[in-house]
Chains A and B, each alone.
Chain A
Amino acid sequence: MSDGSVRSFYGWFTTLGLLVGVLVGLGYYRDEYRPWKDYQRRFIREEIRRATTPDQRVLAQNTAVQVRQILLPDLNRVDRCTTCHLAVEDPSYGGYPQPLAYHPLHDQHPFDKFGCTVCHRGQGRATTAADAHGAVAHWDEPMLPLKYIQASCGQCHDASDNPAAPELERGEQLFETTGCRGCHRLGGVGGNIGPELDRVGARRSPDWLRQHFLAPAAVTPGSGMPPQKFAEADIEAIVLFMLSQTGANLPGFYASMKVIPSASEGQRLFQQKGCIGCHSVGGQGGKVGPALDDVGLRRTPEWMMQHFRDPQTVSPGSVMPRFGFTEAEARALTDFLLRLRDQKLALSIPALMGPVDRGREIYRKYGCSGCHGPEGKGGVPNPNAKTAEQVPGLTYVADGYTKPELKKLILRGQREIVPLDPRRPAPPLYMPAWGSTIKDAEIDDLVAYLFSLKPKGEDLGF
């Protein structure tokens, strides 16, 4: 080298060399050090400590420290929760602090078939606690607080009958009785004033849902939904039910879970198959076969199952035909009959009910009470509506309309509501057109029911 031009750069060379060296080292170190490795080593130490035989000790010592995952190709998921939650299947770890605690109640839902996130939500592919639990930016499905876990049951199972998920059941009952369907469509049935609720559980957080029930206009500006007066326990239940509506379209094996036999499924089958033609319940029905009110006291579930499969085998000489029920259907019917014993289930069989009673069922089914109040009593606010700023009650509807007029109104709806003060915003609640949702025969029954609301003996003398 003839001049110093390169020599003057030696300092640079050193600095840059060191810098690159340090950065590579730093990058590699940060990558190798992962918190889950600590948890796994802790678990291994605990296993070694608890080992009672040399075999067990060797097994524990040879446990590899590695990422663990549950592959769920049908659900297109990979759950890596077991990388830290290492003892979920080991009952002897009950009561240990997380993440080494045991997870009870997994017999019906084995982890290798269901994973974790399908019930608990969160980010299954992550391997750090914060990311895996999902309450991070750019992840839409944070873990469900444990008190709402029954919401996940509703993704596969019927909400209306699941003894293992009483909160979910309660939430569904509240939904039906409060009349939410009057404004909100769910499962294709309901009004169109508010948004459809089929995916609300996937889009909204539990806190948002709570606040929305208590003060809808505060979280959704311009909302016409009246604040709901629920007791605290009821709010939790209905929030839970909302959370269960995720619109999850689960494939194959998981979809078959909907056919899990349940008593309400059994009731539906009971009505559908026409059992009431030969058997009676609550004094109503046919006399060919025995009354079924206390069959749960007289027969075991196994006998009933076999009877459904082939009546002749357990009841020789019976005229009951073989219906060809699937096992699931037989289970459902058995559950239903057992429930009759427990709860004296009020059996509403449309064929045996009068139009007014049917109409009452329809009023409940389509959520009319959400706007018109329970039994048409009114009281639901509709700001700026000429009708005393309320949705009109229906008690005296028989005075204002003929049956055909009322039927037409229900079918066509009334989109424009006369405002009290034209300068204020239009009333948010209106009467949807129910023609596409309520079937024709149902309308007649509904009208009959509404006409029956007027208290007897009142004569206004006009």
Chain B
Amino acid sequence: MSAPLPRRIWSWFAQTRVGRSVFRVGPPQSNLERSQAMVSSFLLHVQPAKVSRHALRASYSLGLGLISLYLFFILIVTGVLLMFYYVPSTLQAYDRMKDLQFVISAGLVVRNMHRWAAHLMVLFVMMHLCRVFYTGAYKQPREFNWVLGVGLFLMTLGLSFTGYLLPWDQLAFWAITVGTNIAGYAPVIGPKLKFLLLGGNEVGQEALTRFYALHVIVLPALAGLMVAVHLWRVRKDGGLSRPDLPEDSVQSLPLSQLPTNKSYGLMELARGTTPQVGRDPDDEIFSWPHLIFRELLLFMLVVAVVLFLAIFWNAPLEELANTVHPPNPAKAPWYFLGLQELVSYSAFWGGVVVPALLVTALVLLPYIDRKRQGVGRWFARERAVANTIFSVCLVTAIALTVIGTVFRGPNWSWVVPWQTPPAITEGH
């Protein structure tokens, strides 16, 4: 029997006049066509025609960066849909959230998808950062891409934080009150920064308008741009990082000395651990279909998981925001709870110094750690020191977040979650 039906349909369409005007390359039958399918496509050409076998290993990258990207796409699509109904007014926002739940077709599922994809994206971006660290993939020549990645991580947190306020319920209002107060602790610029963020001195309509603008256009546009550069750099830095092979003895060559008068084409630029002209072709395989198919599968998996969560678990919506009645305790979004825990010890050291140091350390990391060993392998022994330091910080961050989530109760007191809390004497 011949090819499957969808393939046959597409083959037929691709050789009609209309088809040929849209898809300049039909279904690839030869290696040349497989290369052309990648290179001549707008959407696909950021990926190379051939990739190293190593890059396709799921156990290496775990697809975390791709998953983050897919979650971003899902967020954009569901976010745009939500924009058709949401109104960024303190008088209407909450009611619109209720309308999504009750009278808008598929409203609840779309909103839930948006919320769960957002939480997952923060989580997976963090995991992606950890993966890149543990495989030493931030080292030369990928330093700048790592910096871009840290920037993207901050964008993700910013997007999540600005979006958190929009439902205008108790959860949203007080989480952002806590979060902006933490921002206000920064020395010198803190109060001004808080004033700028809130468009005033308190969380109100101005804050809602600003957060909405940031959330739907400013941060997504910036993040999108940075994602584009980030993917572009992946390509230009030689694809995903791979372990050095013994045959790798090629030094970095300045562009002007390359043995070819073409600077681009179906060949990759040679540099270090990247696919090289003249290398054994069995080390690379064609992106079409090997990479593309895996990417499609991963996309379907991500969509399935987000859909599953959205159908069976509702995103939270508490009471309408009440500016005089904070919940006890008032907690920041989960990714800031470690921070809030630190702040409960010291506003300055916990809320300003530690995060600033962490971000600075992350940004400067590839310029500090210049040893070239241990790239392309998980937990390489040559990098034991770096890995240990990172792991300690990671575990601490997780522990602080868990404490802030589970072990802190009213008045930020210590509670043991499996025991009944004592009755709170509420003031009148």
Contact = CB atoms under 8 A, between A and B. Distances in A.
- Do the two chains touch directly in the complex (Cβ atoms below 8 Å apart)? yes
Interface string A1-37: 1010110010011001101100110111011100000
Interface string B288-311: 011001101100110110011011
A194 B304 CA distance: 56
A139 B296 CA distance: 42
A277 B200 CA distance: 59
B311 A26 contact: yes
B293 A9 contact: yes
Given A27-B311, A140-B319, A221-B423, A9 B297 contact: yes
Contacts of B76: none
A194 B311 CA distance: 48
Nearest to B34: A1
A221 B428 CA distance: 11
Interface in A142-187: none
A138 B317 contact: yes
A107 B99 CA distance: 30
Contacts of A1: 289
Contact of A31 (B106, B285, B300): B106
A9 to B, nearest CB: 6
Interface in B296-343: 296-297, 300-301, 303-304, 307-308, 310-311, 317-319
A80 B103 contact: yes
B347 interface: no
Contact of A222 (B102, B103, B317, B425): B425
Given A26-B311, A30-B311, A195 B428 contact: yes
Interface stretch (A120-128, A284-292, A431-439): A120-128
Interface residues of B, number: 35
Contact of B102 (A13, A24, A125): A125
A31 B109 contact: yes
A80 B98 CA distance: 12
A92 interface: no
Contacts of B423: 221
B297 A27 contact: no
A405 B293 CA distance: 95
Contacts of A9: 293-294, 297
Interface size bracket, A side: 35 or more
Contact of B319 (A12, A32, A139, A222): A139
A19 B294 CA distance: 17
B311 A126 contact: no
A47 B16 CA distance: 57
A23 B102 contact: no
Nearest to B99: A125
A28 B110 CA distance: 11
B270 interface: no
Contacts of B106: 27-28, 31
Given A31-B109, A80-B103, A126-B98, A23 B319 contact: no
Nearest to B113: A27
A13 B101 CA distance: 32
A375 interface: no
A76 interface: yes
* Among B99, B102, B169, B290: residue with most chain A CB under 10 A: B102
A226 to B, nearest CB: 17
Given A5-B290, A67-B103, A127-B102, A13 B297 contact: yes
Given A139-B319, A195-B428, A126 B290 contact: no
Given A23-B308, A23-B311, A28-B106, A138 B319 contact: yes
Interface in A103-127: 123, 125-127
A6 B425 contact: no
Nearest to A222: B425
A285 B310 CA distance: 76
B95 interface: yes
B91 interface: yes
A293 interface: no
B108 interface: yes
A325 B109 CA distance: 59
B252 interface: no
Nearest to B300: A16
A78 interface: yes
A131 interface: yes
B105 interface: yes
Contacts of B102: 80, 125-128, 131
Interface of B: 56, 91, 95, 98-99, 101-103, 105-106, 108-109, 169-170, 285, 289-290, 293-294, 296-297, 300-301, 303-304, 307-308, 310-311, 317-319, 423, 425, 428
Given A9-B297, A13-B297, 15 more contacts: A5-B56, A5-B285, A6-B289, A13-B296, A17-B300, A19-B300, A19-B304, A20-B300, A23-B304, A28-B106, A31-B108, A80-B102, A125-B102, A195-B428, A221-B423
15 contacts: A5-B285, A6-B290, A9-B297, A13-B296, A16-B304, A20-B300, A23-B304, A27-B311, A32-B105, A80-B102, A123-B98, A125-B102, A126-B102, A128-B102, A140-B319
